[in-house]
Structure formats: structure tokens, C-alpha cells
Chain A
């Protein structure tokens, strides 16, 4: 038998109130081992309070070669930003 263990992506919540964030990847035979390995490698110094692991081949990614057209819809919508709207001089904050 010459099978490699599948690749997993690891996401960690560093403390309550924050998002899980991608920290890296690892190989493991199953999800249980992936979680334990992630704990041992990525939280050796208490870097996390929660871990997600997901098999890398389950992730669908956008294609960077199509970035221009893919992200095009947001390009010309400056009115989605507060600076598009002018305030009267006497109004300091809004």
C-alpha cells in the first residue's frame, strides 16, 4: 500500500470573540487525527481556543486568472463608502 494521508486545512479561533483564521495545513488519516495533530502543531503555545479542520479537496477556490472579471462588480461603486457623501463643514463627526 502506498497511499498518502489526505491533506487538511486548519483554522483556529485564537480567542473567544474572534473569527477562525486559516493557519496552515497538515496530513492526517482521519478527522480525529487531523484535530489532534492540529492541536499539537498549531497550538503548542496556547494560540487557540477552537480548531476547525477541513479536507483541502473540499475547498472551492476562486480562480486568480479571472480576478478582473470576477471582482469587477464592486469596482465602480464608490457610493458604498462613507467618503462619497460630503458633510457640511460645521458637522464634525458622523
Chain B
């Protein structure tokens, strides 16, 4: 590093420490830029891949009311993907590069979306737990140090609040329904609980990117802090539903003022991250079909049409 760069880096960190946002054209260390591109594009991919497990149920929602609610939610997720891709593009990557990385299996997305939605109750559990967990992370990110990312998060958080309620509402109906319906809700909670806790990422001791991200104020709360926040908020919600969180070690710790909970199966987490979850292959197949097989000719045709129209307009003027 040259003396000039060292000076820039000190000024950069001073801005971060003073809570001054970093904007697209400001000087930033390469590693900060790389970390952001990786994190924001992964976040965008999660929004997009996240539409697949829920989209799976749009045509089979049990009523028109449920169908329009779910459809609106899934539409929002597409928008979230767009806001985030745009934020990443301000850092110098392109949409095409990010899409290729996803389609080629080089980019990651949240592992939660590699689990299947096998019953309607899963749609309730996803909204309640998965969106619930995502919201805690995203509320933290509204204060992230990179301006375009923070602004995208503000917009996203405004839209998210209905997602979790929509899911909880589905769970409420099932839990107040027949014994069979309530059993469906319990089964969904049993399957989604642990993967939801894994959404916050490895424990603080294991997390490889966390420390620097906290210094740069990209992140402002550690994985374990957010996970604890989620458990504390969700336990009471499960009580209201009258279903049981599948963790025999879950208990209130008076001294800490938090719930203690059991050990997370990190082997399962890493297996899914490495591509061996139930739906990893299906998800990538669906994304490739959408972007390449079914999507490419549409994008090409739109460009060709736009160019032809422009030519016509030019010759009219001439």
C-alpha cells in the first residue's frame, strides 16, 4: 500500500466512524467494495431464488384472498431483487455478471431456499419465520455504511412488514382450524424452525467475514445477537399460535433476560451451503430455465425492437 492509499484508507475509516455514508463515487478500499458486491449480490439472489418455494403455491392457494396476498408478496420479492442488484451495480459489477455467477452456481444465496415447501402450511411458516428472520437482518442493514445499500434496505423493510403478517395470518387460520390443520402448522414449524435459526449464519466464533464487516459498519450486529433476538421474539408468537417449538432445550434464562436454546446442527447447514440440500439442484435449474432457455430470446427481441424503433425515429427526422 502506498502512503497515499494509507491516507485515503484512514480518511475512509474516519468517515465510517463519524457515521458518514459512503456513496458510489467515493474512494473506498478494494476489499470493502468486494465485500459489498459479494454480500449485496448474494442478498439479491436470495430475493430472486426465494420466489421459487413460494411461487410453487400461488396456483394452489386455498382461497382467492390467500392467493392475492401470496402473489403480492412474491411480486415484492422480485422488486427487492431489483433494488439490490441496482445497489450492487453502483459498485461496478453488471447485472449480466451477477446473473451468470448465479446460473453457473458460483454465487451463493440464502440456504433456507433450498428447503422444499411441501404443504400449504409451509407458506405460513415461511412468511412467519423466514421473512421474520430476514426482517431482523434487514432492519439492521438500513443503517449499513454504504448509502445505496442502506436506501434499498429502507424501501425493502417498508414492504417486508406485510410479508411476515401474511404468513402469521396463515398460521393463525390453521391453528384455529381442525386438528388436522393444526397438525399441519406444527409440522411446518418442526421443519422450518432450525433452518430459520441457521439463516443468521455461523456462530460469531466461526464467522469468517464478520469482524471486518463490523469495523466497516456494513454489519452492525453479530450473527448470534440477531439469532437471539429472533428466538426471543418468536417464542411468544408460537405460544399465541398454540404450537410447540421443536427444541427440548428451549427455556427462559432469568439471569440473561433471554431464552436459552439447543445446539444448531451446523453439519446440516454446511451440507446445504455446499449444494447438497434437498432443492439446490432444482433451484438452479429453474433459474437457468428462466434466464437462459425462456428469457434470453425475450431480452434480445426487446433490444432489437428498441434499436429498430430508434433507427426509424432517426430516419424520420432526417
**A interface residues (Cβ-Cβ under 8 A, vs B):** 1-5, 7, 23-27, 29-30, 33, 41, 44-45, 61, 63-65
| Given A4-B96, A64-B25, A65-B27, A24 contacting B302 (CB threshold 8 A) | no
User: B75 near A: Cβ within 8 Å?
Assistant: yes
CB distance from B251 to the nearest CB of A (A): 41
CA distance A2 to B27 in the complex (A): 31
User: B118 near A: Cβ within 8 Å?
Assistant: no
Partner of A3, one of B82, B83, B303: B303
User: B246 near A: Cβ within 8 Å?
Assistant: no
CB-defined contacts of B159 to chain A, threshold 8 Å = 45
CB distance from B44 to the nearest CB of A (A): 13
Q: Is the CB of A64 within 8 A of B86?
A: no
CB-defined contacts of A2 to chain B, threshold 8 Å = 96
Q: Is the CB of A5 within 8 A of B299?
A: yes
List 11 A-B pairs, Cβ < 8 Å: A1-B300, A4-B94, A4-B95, A24-B83, A29-B306, A30-B302, A30-B309, A30-B310, A41-B79, A41-B82, A64-B23
CA distance A26 to B26 in the complex (A): 22
Residue of A nearest to B298 (CB): A29
Q: Is the CB of A26 within 8 A of B76?
A: no
Residue of B nearest to A33 (CB): B302
Chain B 279-318 against A: per-residue CB contact (8 Å), 1 yes, 0 no? Answer: 0000000000000000000011011111001100000000
CA distance A33 to B306 in the complex (A): 10
Q: How large is the interface on B (under 10, 10 to 19, 20 to 34, 35 or more residues)?
A: 20 to 34
Q: Is the CB of B303 within 8 A of A5?
A: yes
User: B89 near A: Cβ within 8 Å?
Assistant: yes
CA distance A23 to B171 in the complex (A): 34
User: B274 near A: Cβ within 8 Å?
Assistant: no
10 shortest interchain CB distances as A-B pairs: A29-B302, A30-B306, A29-B306, A25-B86, A1-B300, A41-B79, A64-B25, A64-B26, A4-B96, A3-B303
Task: List 16 other contacts, CB 8 Å, given A29-B303, A64-B27.
Answer: A3-B300, A3-B303, A4-B95, A5-B302, A5-B303, A24-B86, A24-B155, A25-B89, A30-B302, A30-B305, A30-B309, A33-B306, A44-B75, A44-B76, A63-B25, A64-B23
CA distance A20 to B299 in the complex (A): 29
User: B37 near A: Cβ within 8 Å?
Assistant: no
CB distance from B305 to the nearest CB of A (A): 7
| Given A1-B303, A7-B89, A63-B25, A27 contacting B79 (CB threshold 8 A) | no
CB-defined contacts of B72 to chain A, threshold 8 Å = 44
CB-defined contacts of A30 to chain B, threshold 8 Å = 302, 305-306, 309-310
CB-defined contacts of B306 to chain A, threshold 8 Å = 29-30, 33
CB-defined contacts of A45 to chain B, threshold 8 Å = 159
Q: Is the CB of B303 within 8 A of A26?
A: no
User: B40 near A: Cβ within 8 Å?
Assistant: no
